Structure 1
Amino acid sequence: MGKTTTARILAKALNCAKGDGPTPDPCGHCPSCKEIKAGGSLDVQEIDGATNNGVEQVRELRESARYNPARDRFKIWIIDEVHMLSTGAFNALLKTLEEPPPRVKFIFATTEYHKIPDTILSRCQQYDFRMIPARELLAHLRKVAEGEKIRVSDEALGKVARAADGSVRDALSLFDQVLAFSGNEVRDEEVTALLGLIDRELLLKASSAAVAGDSLAVLELVEGLADYGADYRNFTRELLLHFRELLLLKLAPEESGLLSSILPEERARMKPLAEAFSEEDLLRVFDVLTRAETDLRLAPDPRVTLELALLKLVQMRRLMPFVELVDRVERLAGGAASPPRPTPSDTRPTAPSPAPSVPPPPAPAGPPEGASAILAAMIELSASRPSLGQPLRSAAPRLEGDTLVLEVAPDYVAFASMHLDEYRELAKRAAGRALKVRVGAGAVPSEPEAPPSPDQVKRERLRKEAEREPAVQEALDLFEGKVVDVREAKPAKESA
């Protein structure tokens, strides 16, 4: 909403001649209203603070304020961009504001009121204007287009409304620039090119590639930006605002004013993307893009910097959420098996029986025959879960009808019994048919007869004992690690 336009309307309300005093509804037809609208009123003076910012100009204003209005009710000064006045000019104006003549009014307009001295602000009434929502600007531009018989899509008008950043005057100026080039029929791509905007489709492609974990798509996107001639920093800033809109769509209800800047048709396209991201994902995205926008200022090769930032967004989607990680660690502490984590690329149909914690790779062609062959296939299939494969390597298998009996080392019995469902699924995939699995204790493996040294034997024993712990097995699988070294805990010293 225009500050100077509002100041003129207020001046009309104060000086309108249709009543005996100020009126909230100026007529617009009396001599005073017409002269204020035309800018020729003797009693309403408009001053540009950027050019008339010296002490001498303010002294002339103070001298004029001593005289009564020529005809109207009040003598009014409208000072635009008042924050541009010098410190001396403000000091010269202060006395008049403290004790203003009874028929004198001052109206100040500024976009940076924080630059105005507190001594001036304390003697004024302050009214803050808000930015016009994009949907209202779009409706106003549509009304103008229909009045001028201009054929233009809502998408093109939406681009103009967003570029105006809440200003009706800027929206009309930008629309006028587009019409000067396009005439009475405006195409969407012309608006994007003329205003130097980043195409919304590029932003949607970037966020969609991050959701899908498609590294190739983001590289192709940057290639398209190079062909398009877009500025990489500008694209990064627009992408940051795009992800902010996704966060607002995720958190704010439909009727919230936070969503007023997002057009309804864009909300429908962005809503699925917002639901695909977690709040933690979006916060990490903000951090990556903010750093990238800063790095692009000094980057020797901006394209590579942008590509690395977008690839980070893709890789972050593959990270385990912190809440899920904490949940799995808590399950380990309680001695329970942690559930499998679904992956975005897993498109297999859900089976009615319990699924294994981590789906094994496809079984080799041709089902093996015999207990030993089935066990060998199970070991191969469990390559993605070292904790599952460890008990199988020392197991003695045998078939009893439709039951596969696995005799494992006594230290592995508890862990293997805890994961019978996974071993049952491995056996089914290895044999090509459903098999029951039973776990029992087998013979204890013999120790090396001639250890190299007592210290190495002790370390190896401690490592094997640690690996046989169910909680350690789950931790190795959770973090995809291995036991490197085990040290015996020293007893705590007793306090004297």
Structure 2
Amino acid sequence: MALALYRKYRPSTFAEVVGQDHVTEPLRTALAAGRINHAYLFSGPRGCGKTSSARIMARSLNCVEGPTPDPCGKCGPCLALAPEGPGSVDVTELDAASHGGVDDARELRDRAFYAPAESRYRVFIIDEAHMVTTQGFNALLKIVEEPPEHLIFIFATTEPDKVLPTIRSRTHHYPFRLIPPSSMRELLERNVAAEGVQVEPAVYPLVIRAGGGSARDTQSVLDQLLAGAGPDGVTYARAVSLLGVTDVALIDAMVDALSADDHKAVFGTVDQLAEAGHDPRRFATDLLDRLRDLILLRSVPDAASAGMVSAPEEQLNRMVAQAERLQPGTLTRYAEIIHNGLLEMRGATAPRLLLELLCARMLLPEVAGDEAATLQRLERLERRFTAGGPAPAAPAAEPASAPAPERTFERPSQRAAAPAAPAKKEPEPAAAPAPKPAPATPPPSPPAPPAVAEPVAEAAPVAGSEPGQIDAAALRQYWPQLLAAVRKLSRSTEAMLTNATVHSVEGSTVVLTHSAEPLARRLSEPRNADCIATALGQVLSGQWTVRCVHAGAVQASAAAPARQTQAAPARQAPPQPTRQQPPSAEQQRSFQRPSATEPPRRAVPTTTEPDIPLPPEPEDEDDPYPAGPDAGGPAAAPAPEPVDPEAIAHKLLSDHLGARPID
């Protein structure tokens, strides 16, 4: 029986290990310096040299000339631990996949205390260490932590995260990797030369791709090809048929048809694929690999010489020509379609149908100018949301010099103040509301605008401001943009501005009013005021300061003249009669002699307070019938006298007894 290639050409020294220099060099240095640890952990993918390196480590430790990085290969331990050797009684290799229980761990622990028979160290190699149970690891924990001087543990695993952390923390961890294609090809060519079999150069990429970076799997695939080699050796056609890979001619035909936008050739290639018995999933995978190579050749001109793309010279020239006919964006789009299609093909009952649909998607024309349109959208978004940048070109951001001819959802105060804001001239008599006459207030001077009856009225721009400066009415048009800018800076400040409004603009100071006095104080705090001022600078540019006042205080200050005019007649008016009248004379006589069984009552003094005239509410100013006789309206009906049932009972009883005292 022939020996398998991966066993026949198994490395016997660290120098023969392929593609693991990051592990072998530190181990060789440690062995040369004599820094030997009591436990090692070798992790990595399957077939990358973990167990082989563990045997080489045991051989280097027990060599007569050792510990040494280069075993002599002639002494007893070296011959016993050679790849084709019988093994050593002092080196125990345990497969944890079948011996990972707590009983196996206890037996191993009991054997570990015995001294080596003929070697320097007793070495325990535990393969597939992640299969050891938690109880088994706990049984080994004490001896792994404090082993005898002659004992060394080597754990090999493909999943180091499943090893008990207390065990892993007491080992020197060396991670192994997949072998790169260049190193793998050197290994295959060396083995083929030792076997004396001719292999076509185009076969090596197929074997390396089938092996997936594992030395054992790759050599097993090559062993299969060598076993079926004919008189001409291993040909490309034989390798394609045995490995089940897609013929490169079909891949070239598909890429050429896609580059020429030939629909008939594309679907004809799929039909040839099905007639040849190839797997559509494997064809899609191989086509994705080809697209990857074309993207690299298109992006990196020297990708072939740098080793990024591995292919025969003839095939490489053909791929370079294909990459020149396709744009990088098109190649990327094809690769994304194939990649997503492979996910859809998992478990599909009709893979050929899905492959034809993928081809139809790739043949769809690209949208012209799609990239430019995306860039334009991004630029617009950046201009809109960049802090401190220019305002977006929207109708709401137009300057106040060109207001809209018609406003919606405006207050009466805004409609009253808007005509007087742009120019200092008298408004039309019909457009301005009729002012309410005040008896004690002198008439306004001719240059001043008429007074507005609403308490919170927006005045014209403050005297002394420069022409063209924004006023309160124009600032209200920017209120949505201001709230959006404040929202980016502070969401809490934006929430407090919900019921706030612009009262006036005094130069560079904006005065806001709020219906809630606590929120008005909060908005006047430096943090919130600076936030609103920064947002104003972003929306309107310039430097601003902001202060907020309570709307009630503004109303009180606006209604002060009216309160003064109504206070004078109120002082001269007679006091209003109280609602509670004093008892009559008869009731007083009936109460002079209380009953003997009833305790005397204390008279409750009644006090009368004069009515203090209050300022008129805004909604009551236009009432044609003010209350009270002094206001000229109908007199208010007198309040009914309170009814005392006990007093009525005393009155009836006294009348019946003739006004005699009740005993």
TM-score (normalizing by structure 1): 0.60
Distance in 2 (alpha carbons) for counterparts of 1:66 and 1:297: 53
1:175 corresponds to 2:242 = no
Distance in 1 (alpha carbons) for counterparts of 2:78 and 2:251: 49
Alignment of 1:387-466 (within 5 A): none
Aligned to 1:351: none
1:258–1:104 distance in 2 versus 1, CA, 3 Å: farther
Deviations 1:295-336 (A, max 9, x none): 2235443212111102212325x4436445568999xxxxxx
Give the deviation of 1:252 after TM superposition: 5.2
1:193 corresponds to 2:241 = yes
1:30 corresponds to 2:78 = no
Structure 1 gaps of 5+ residues are 331-492
Q: Higher helix fraction: Structure 1 or Structure 2?
A: 1
1:87 corresponds to 2:105 = no
1:300–1:157 distance in 2 versus 1, CA, 3 Å: closer
Aligned to 2:364: 315
Local SS of the residue matching 1:127? strand
1:23 partner amino acid: T
Q: How many residues are paired up?
A: 333
Whether the 8 Å contact between 2:121 and 2:150 is mirrored in structure 1 is yes
Aligned to 1:78: 125
2:352 partner amino acid: R
Alignment of 1:138-287 (within 5 A): 138-184=185-231, 185-251=233-299, 254=302, 259-260=307-308, 262-263=310-311, 265=313, 267-287=316-336
Local SS of the residue matching 1:126? strand
1:268–1:75 distance in 2 versus 1, CA, 3 Å: farther
1:327–1:119 distance in 2 versus 1, CA, 3 Å: closer
The alignment's C-alpha RMSD in Å is: 3.1
Give the deviation of 1:133 after TM superposition: 2.5
Local SS of the residue matching 2:94? strand
1:67–1:277 distance in 2 versus 1, CA, 3 Å: farther
Whether the 8 Å contact between 1:249 and 1:267 is mirrored in structure 2 is no
Aligned to 2:6: none
Distance in 1 (alpha carbons) for counterparts of 2:337 and 2:50: 38
1:62–1:139 distance in 2 versus 1, CA, 3 Å: same
Whether the 8 Å contact between 2:62 and 2:77 is mirrored in structure 1 is yes
Distance in 2 (alpha carbons) for counterparts of 1:275 and 1:109: 48
Deviations 1:36-69 (A, max 9, x none): 1214201111111211111111111111111221
Distance in 2 (alpha carbons) for counterparts of 1:321 and 1:81: 56
Whether the 8 Å contact between 2:180 and 2:213 is mirrored in structure 1 is yes
Structure 2 gaps of 5+ residues are 1-47, 379-475, 479-501, 503-663
Distance in 2 (alpha carbons) for counterparts of 1:124 and 1:75: 17
1:313–1:39 distance in 2 versus 1, CA, 3 Å: farther
1:300–1:33 distance in 2 versus 1, CA, 3 Å: closer
Whether the 8 Å contact between 1:249 and 1:259 is mirrored in structure 2 is no
Deviations 1:337-363 (A, max 9, x none): xxxxxxxxxxxxxxxxxxxxxxxxxxx
Which deviates further from its counterpart, 183-192 or 143-152?
143-152
Distance in 2 (alpha carbons) for counterparts of 1:281 and 1:91: 57
Which deviates further from its counterpart, 269-278 or 67-76?
269-278
Whether the 8 Å contact between 2:296 and 2:303 is mirrored in structure 1 is no
Local SS of the residue matching 2:176? coil
Give the deviation of 1:230 after TM superposition: 1.4
Distance in 2 (alpha carbons) for counterparts of 1:69 and 1:222: 65
Alignment of 1:292-331 (within 5 A): 292-315=341-364, 318-320=366-368, 322-325=370-373
Deviations 1:193-242 (A, max 9, x none): 11122223333333333322222222011111101211222222232333
2:184 partner amino acid: L
